[in-house]
Amino acid sequence: MSKILVTGGCGYIGSHAIVDLVQHGYEVVSADSLIRSSIKQLDGVTEILGCPIKNYLVDLCDKEATRRIFEAEKDITGVIHFAALKSVGESVFEPTLYYTNNLTSLVNVLECCAEFGVKQFIFSSSCSVYGNTTELPVTENTPLQKTESPYAHTKQIGEGIIEHFAKRYTDIRFILLRYFNPAGAHPSGLIGESPLVEATNLVPVVIETALGKRPQLSVFGTDYATRDGSCIRDYIHIMDLAAAHTKSLDYLIVEKNETNCEVFNVGIGQGVTVLEAINAFEKISNLKLNVFKTDRRLGDIEAIYADYSLAKKHLGWTPQYSIEDIMQTAWKRANR
């Protein structure tokens, strides 16, 4: 059984990935400082899996503490590095925090992989590395544009750091997964997205509005050149995203990779407008939301969605869930 270190395992994506990994035969340990999550998320994981998951309460910016995890666990075969701060708006106001946290933790974990002989490494990248692109759908070869925020810049730099590590450590196999817009919850409703800071992403905001925690749902811009005037995004169900990590590990472990550093888009390849997403929620919940059409949000791009054919071809990954499934599972989670 391969032992995988999941950094950020108490977070939104990491916790769902742990569920899929363990259900596919991987042994998992987590390392999370809980700076942006609660250990309760692992209670939900335990309830789904019927077995506990160990978390090392470690700030991965602390190199010695990070090394001790690898020493204690000895035979880690792969690392999935989710741990990072991810709020675009916060990063604009706290650039030092974002560059320090996201890049120091990455370098520390990479150095430990080299020192302790870890052969598989998967990195959480983001479609935000494409910046304000006009090429649609975006492929992995779409040129990266100047980023809109320090957060997105940490992902571009992080990718660059890994590319250079891959040249230096040719026996380690790396995958960079560029996620589009992850949303939704585990179908059981036992885990989901539980932001500790104020939610700004569309689906959590929809849910909070439906729960009455917000008086209204602001739609940022209805004058874009799209089919209904609102922005287009590629919303990917969290369990589809989780599966992409398991498939990536499977692929690396049997050495199907063509180079030792490969990039894959992880989106469902379909653009959904903000108004269509809201309609999908209203359909599955039988509720009418108090929607307020307002000005464009600074930094938003008009439209982005993925070409995921490379992930399909190489990883054998195909998304299974729709925007309705995203809304249905997020709503189920909210009502538990």
Q: Which range, of 1-9, 27-35, 57-65, 201-209, touches ligand WQD by CB under 6 A?
A: 201-209
Number of residues that bind ligand WQD (CB under 6 A): 18
Q: Which of 194, 201, 248, 328 binds ligand WQD (CB under 6 A)?
A: 201
C-beta separation of 78 from 118 below 8 A:
yes
Q: Which of 15, 55, 91, 128 binds ligand WQD (CB under 6 A)?
A: 128
Q: Work out whether 182 is an interface residue with ligand NAD (CB under 6 A).
A: yes
Closer CB to ligand WQD, 274 or 334, in the complex? 274
Closest by Cα among 144, 140, 118, 120 to 130: 144
Tokens of 260: 């030792």
CA atoms of 72 and 20, how far apart (whole Å): 24
Q: Work out whether 126 is an interface residue with ligand NAD (CB under 6 A).
A: yes
Whether 12 is catalytic: no
Q: Which range, of 62-70, 218-226, 312-320, 328-336, touches ligand WQD by CB under 6 A?
A: 218-226
DSSP 188: T
Tell me how many helices (H) and strands (E) the chain has: 11, 13
Q: Which of 126, 147, 156, 329 binds ligand WQD (CB under 6 A)?
A: 126
Q: Which range, of 11-19, 208-216, 252-260, 275-283, touches ligand NAD by CB under 6 A?
A: 11-19
Q: Which of 65, 220, 222, 318 binds ligand WQD (CB under 6 A)?
A: 220
CA atoms of 20 and 18, how far apart (whole Å): 5
Spell out the alpha helix ranges (H) of the chain: 12-23, 40-49, 63-73, 88-93, 95-116, 150-168, 202-210, 238-253, 274-285, 309-315, 323-334
Q: Name the residues that contact ligand WQD, by CB under 6 A.
A: 86, 88, 126, 128, 152, 181, 200-202, 205, 218-220, 231, 233, 274, 297, 300
